[in-house]
């Protein structure tokens, strides 16, 4: 189907997602009635399995997984069918197993681990109608213009997550084509201890996501009130 609506869900990093994430996504589903849903990656966080120092007062890996599974079940009620991009956070438990010498064949699948429906499909990237959806950790951020870097890498229209402080659409043209690159921000709770590494930065995460309607990129910010809640 050439003309269709694709809802893009930005980084949620459950269980450290924004409190209004599910309500916001329900609203967007009702507003756009998407033909397809793509989660851009970092569906879960796995802060406890990070290679960086973990907060001793934070959730253990087991407790974090239980909370992530709870989020997964709630999200599946809204979007029973979805493509999810493999990403640097979701893969953390596989990386730990790899370091321990455990073969991938001995590991459970993403859907089994996260208590997700079999209709959730995990992919490294997704291409449709001259668009490519990638998480973004494969894209070099040097030079500051992430969307244009991504366009030049893939020479397609590109939809990106991963970069929490980037929420926008940029264009790139050559003698034959016009391309867009869209960064969809995130849906995280940046006050959570999982994101304390960003606390001293001036730039803060931009909360929202994106939609593609008949090939046209649209940004959907989650506008927050003074208490940090979604202004419905």
User: In this structure, what CATH number is given to the domain that contains residue 151?
Assistant: 3.60.21.10
Whether residue 95 has pLDDT greater than 90: no
Whether 230 is covered by a domain: the verdict is no
**Could you tell me the pLDDT band of residue 3, with boundaries at 50, 70 and 90?**
confident
What does the pLDDT read at residue 143?
Answer: 58
Q: Identify whether 228 is part of a domain.
A: no
CA distance 155 to 153: 6
Residue 33: predicted pLDDT:
98
Question: What per-residue confidence (pLDDT) applies to 50?
Answer: 79
Residue 227 counted as domain residue: no
Average pLDDT (195-212) is: 86
Q: How far apart are CA 173 and CA 201, in angstroms?
A: 33
**Which CA distances in Å does 55 have to 60, 99, 122, 197?**
9, 22, 29, 11
pLDDT (mean) for 85-113: 88
What pLDDT score was predicted for residue 48?
79
**Separation of alpha carbons 191 and 94, rounded Å:** 27
Residue 185: inside a domain: yes
Q: Is the pTM of this model over 0.85?
A: yes
Q: How many CA atoms lie within 13 A of 8 on its CB side?
A: 35
Q: What are phi and psi of 8, to 5 degrees?
A: -105, 125
Query: What tens digit of pLDDT does each residue of 39-93 get?
Result: 999 999 988 787 777 788 888 889 999 999 999 999 999 999 999 999 988 888 8
Number of domains in the chain: 1
In a domain, 226, yes or no: no
Question: What was the pLDDT predicted at 2?
Answer: 62
What is the percentage of the chain residues whose pLDDT exceeds 70?
97
Query: What pLDDT is recorded for position 68?
Result: 92
* pLDDT over threshold 80, residue 176: yes
Inside any domain, residue 65: yes
Domain that holds residue 196: 5-221
């Amino acid at each position: 189907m050439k003309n269709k609506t694709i809802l893009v869900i930005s980084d949620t990093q459950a269980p450290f997602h924004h409190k209004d994430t599910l309500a916001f996504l329900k609203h967007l589903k009702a507003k756009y009635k998407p033909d397809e849903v793509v989660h851009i990656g970092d569906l879960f966080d796995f802060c406890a399995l990070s290679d960086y120092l973990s907060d001793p007062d934070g959730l253990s890996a087991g407790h974090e997984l239980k909370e992530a599974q709870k989020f997964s079940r709630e999200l599946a009620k809204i979007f029973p069918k979805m493509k999810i991009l493999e990403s640097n956070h979701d893969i953390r438990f596989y990386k730990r197993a790899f370091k321990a010498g455990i073969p991938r064949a001995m590991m459970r699948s993403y859907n089994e681990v996260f208590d997700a429906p079999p209709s959730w499909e995990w992919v490294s990237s997704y291409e449709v109608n001259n668009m490519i959806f990638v998480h973004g950790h494969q894209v070099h951020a040097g030079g500051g213009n992430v969307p244009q870097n991504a366009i030049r890498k893939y020479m397609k229209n590109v939809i990106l997550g991963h970069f929490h402080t980037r929420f926008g659409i940029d264009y790139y043209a050559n003698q034959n084509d016009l391309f867009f690159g869209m960064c969809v921000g995130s849906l995280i709770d940046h006050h959570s201890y999982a994101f304390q590494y960003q606390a001293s930065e001036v730039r803060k995460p931009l909360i929202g996501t994106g939609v593609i309607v008949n090939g046209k990129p649209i940004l959907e910010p989650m506008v927050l009130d003074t208490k940090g809640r979604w202004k419905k």
